[in-house]
Structure 1
Amino acid sequence: MLKKGSKLYSILTGTCPKCQKESMYLDPNPLHIANVLKMNEKCSHCGLKYQIEPSFFYGAMYVSYGLNVAVGIAAFIVSYLIFNSSLKVAFISIIASIVLLFPFILRWSRNIYINMFVSYDPTFKQ
């Protein structure tokens, strides 16, 4: 399902959106909270500079907001509508899911944002 060359592959794996040969992050594990947003300056394979312009990833905040809203709605639907819990339990499940998915959402939002501007280049070889 996740084929190299697709945007979904780059988004979910955190690889360079242009060549998809290396991780954009210094530490590929998002659960190491201290390093969750530390990125390489550029790709060592294709030379793509990840910070395309100064403060480039500030735009990822909007993507992060959308992802958090989606996670909150999904948690509410699962908790309140599927498991028939009370509103208080549904609210707690929303907060818990957003807190637990925090490092993943941070990375996914950056990955989605850079993939909006940079596409995979199948002709690039090194």
Structure 2
Amino acid sequence: METPKYKLSAWSAFANAKCPRCRRGDLFITGMYEFKGQEMHKNCSHCGLVYEREPGYFYVAMFASYALNVAEMVTLAVAISVLTGSSNPWLYVTIILGVAVALAPFNYRYSRVMLLHWLTPGLHYHPEMSEDKAK
């Protein structure tokens, strides 16, 4: 009798910050909004993938984080304009900077997840690595 295969969709693995190769191991040790900060695992606990592909690998995630910040700020500026109709620059600055600070942990985490899942050439999902390990 064959054991059922573990299936996890790409979007679910991305949203839950799981390993891009097996979609089972966690990328982060800590939660997104913990006081001690976000800490990543060095390797996948399930398939052993080394997350930092080369020294300085996650510096590229800063560009993804920048893109997320710009998208959030532009969206907020349009929303403030539509909802309030105000031309007071301090209203925009206060709301946009407040939301940018509040979303900084989200941007940090998902810029790294985005880098591993979508922006790393040669790193793909391998369904055979999702299976439970033999005992």
Pairwise same-fold verdict (TM > 0.5): yes
Does 1:35 find its partner at 2:37?
Answer: yes
Give 1:33 deviation, angstroms: 4.1
Greater gyration radius: 2
| CA offset digits 1:91-120 (Å, max 9, x no partner) | 211111100001011001000011122222
1:114 has 2:116 as partner? yes
Q: Higher helix proportion, which one?
A: 1
> Contact 2:73–2:96 (CA<8 Å) still a contact in 1?
yes
CA contact (8 A) 1:41 1:51 kept: yes
Structure 1: gaps spanning 5 or more residues:
none
Deviation at 1:48, TM superposition (A): 0.6
TM, length-normalised to structure 1: 0.86
1:13 is aligned, of 6, 16, 28, to 16
Letter in 2 for 1:121: H
| Aligned-pair Cα RMSD in Å | 1.7
| Residues 25, 47 of structure 2: 8 Å contact kept | no
Identical-residue share of aligned pairs (%): 29
Equivalent in the alignment of 2:51: 50
2:123 is equivalent to residue 123 of structure 1? no
Correspondence for 2:4:
none
Distance 2:37 2:112 in 1: 14
Number of residue pairs matched by the alignment: 121
Structure 2 Cα separation of the partners of residues 84 and 104 of structure 1: 29
